């Protein structure tokens, strides 16, 4: 029971740690892709190096149908036109990211309407929705006039006054302090970019199909001035941060495995030493060493299987609970995570590879340790052990 419990706890701790790490990364990726880049993005090949409205591309029904027809794994498309402008209230001016959107498509992507704290999105001309943080910095509220001033396509002056018809609270603090939303048509007229967009976000049916979908779209639009990017290509620094965090988790897992290994070995060692007298007597009365070693190895094998299965059985409802009820962070930890634009929660993730990887590693570790009693039996002196 002690050996089985050790293996069970090893599987439980290893799977829980891996699940929490995977869940926190999934939340971070979900926030970044929903509100920032999307999982796949189509843009002019010059836009990455020259983020200018001059590199906006024509987006019409023909272009839309061509991309949708490239693969069946596309769920929906989200067109955007974005630029930086000066946003001003009555007395205060701040830099702002102006985003022209289709409110319905944007809502499908990130539930943007669900983040409204007041008002609503409107497709009427000269209306806008402003992020709560920016509204506070500009000292503006519902019904006030927002002034936007910047540069449109081909260097043309872009200026306009917009009534604030909604205020939205975004989960990413940096965006919450600078976002202004206009309807796609209003933004195109303001920026002298009729029927043009800077980014087309492509949402696949499944996040696991993102790379395959991107390749299919690339083949369809090859020969044009458009390029397809996945979120990993658009957010290299973010990907490196996740990789570094994953390495930290792997280091912690290594320490955990060392502790797990010594814990299992301690129980197997104690069990073996307590049975040396029994082993000596069995060999003395004629039992072959190889057969005895095989019996002991099978005992350890069955205990390992039982321990891993017990770990799966206990860990599964635990992970299901924490997936439905994420760990809520508070205090300084929540503020630090919010600074990076992430929700201050730690959910659990459930994936087949977590079970396979952690269960297989603990199983292999236990089997490796089980060779100790086998070697001990094969080298046992039956006369010395039987006198103990």
d(CA 98, CA 148): 9
Short-list 179, 161, 159, CA closest to 171: 179
Q: What is the dihedral of CA 31, 34, 39, 43, to 10 degrees?
A: -130
**pTM for this prediction:** 0.71
- Which token pair is 30? 């979900």
Quick one: pLDDT at residue 179? Answer: 92
Q: How far apart are CA 173 and CA 168, in angstroms?
A: 12
User: What pLDDT is attached to residue 84?
Assistant: 92
Query: How confident is the model at residue 165, as a pLDDT?
Result: 93
DSSP alpha helices (H): ranges in 86-172?
103-110, 132-138
Q: Are 264 and 355 in contact (CB under 8 A)?
A: no
The CB density around residue 165, as the number of other CB atoms within 10 Å, is 18
| pLDDT tens-digit map of 98-139 | 999 998 888 888 888 888 898 888 877 789 999 999 999 999
pLDDT string in tens for the chain (388-residue length): 877 887 888 888 888 888 888 887 887 777 777 777 888 999 988 888 888 888 889 888 888 888 888 888 888 899 999 999 999 988 899 999 999 999 888 888 888 888 889 888 887 778 999 999 999 999 999 999 999 999 888 888 899 999 999 999 887 777 888 999 999 989 999 998 888 999 999 988 887 788 888 889 988 888 788 899 988 888 888 888 888 888 887 888 888 788 878 877 887 788 777 777 877 788 778 888 888 888 888 888 888 888 888 988 998 898 888 888 887 776 666 666 666 556 677 778 888 888 888 788 888 888 888 888 888 877 777 766 656 5
Number of C-beta neighbours around residue 153 at 10 A? 19
pLDDT at 273: 79
**Burial class of residue 370 (count of CB atoms within 10 Å of its CB; 0-12, 13-18, 19+):** buried
* Digit-coded pLDDT (tens) for 267-307: 778 877 777 787 778 877 888 888 888 888 888 888 888 88
């Amino acid at each position: 029971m002690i050996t089985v419990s050790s293996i069970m706890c090893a599987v439980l701790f290893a799977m829980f740690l891996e699940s929490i790490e995977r869940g926190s990364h999934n939340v971070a990726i979900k926030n970044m892709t929903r509100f920032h880049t999307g999982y796949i993005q189509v843009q002019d090949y010059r836009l990455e190096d020259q983020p200018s409205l001059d590199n906006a591309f024509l987006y019409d029904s023909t272009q839309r149908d061509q991309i949708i027809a490239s693969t069946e794994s596309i769920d929906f498309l989200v067109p955007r036109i974005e630029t930086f402008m000066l946003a001003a209230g009555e007395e205060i001016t701040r830099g702002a990211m102006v985003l022209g959107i289709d409110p319905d498509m944007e809502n499908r992507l990130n539930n943007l309407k669900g983040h409204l704290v007041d008002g609503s999105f409107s497709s009427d001309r000269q209306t806008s929705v402003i992020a709560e943080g920016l509204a506070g910095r500009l000292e503006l509220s519902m019904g006030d006039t927002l002034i936007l001033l910047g540069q449109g396509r081909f260097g043309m002056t872009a200026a306009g006054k917009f009534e604030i018809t909604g205020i939205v609270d975004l989960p990413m603090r940096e965006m919450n302090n600078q976002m202004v939303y206009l309807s796609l048509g209003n933004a195109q007229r303001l920026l002298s970019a009729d029927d043009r967009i800077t980014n087309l976000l492509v949402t696949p049916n499944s996040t696991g199909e993102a790379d395959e979908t991107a390749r299919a779209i690339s083949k369809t639009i090859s020969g044009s001035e458009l390029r397809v990017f996945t979120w990993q290509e658009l957010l290299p620094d973010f990907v490196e941060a996740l990789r570094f965090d994953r390495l930290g988790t792997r280091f912690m897992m290594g320490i955990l495995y060392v502790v797990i290994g010594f814990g299992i070995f301690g129980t197997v060692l104690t069990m073996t030493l307590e049975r040396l007298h029994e082993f000596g007597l069995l060999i003395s009365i004629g039992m072959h060493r190889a057969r005895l070693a095989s019996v002991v190895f099978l005992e350890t094998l069955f205990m390992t299987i039982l321990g891993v299965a017990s770990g799966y059985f206990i860990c599964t409802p635990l992970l299901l609970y924490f997936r439905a009820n994420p760990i809520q962070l508070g205090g300084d930890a929540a503020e630090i995570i919010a600074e990076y634009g992430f929700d201050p929660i730690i959910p659990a993730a459930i994936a087949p590879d977590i079970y396979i990887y952690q269960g297989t590693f603990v199983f292999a570790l236990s089997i490796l340790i089980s060779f100790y009693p086998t070697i001990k039996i094969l080298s046992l002196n039956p006369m010395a052990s039987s006198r103990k």
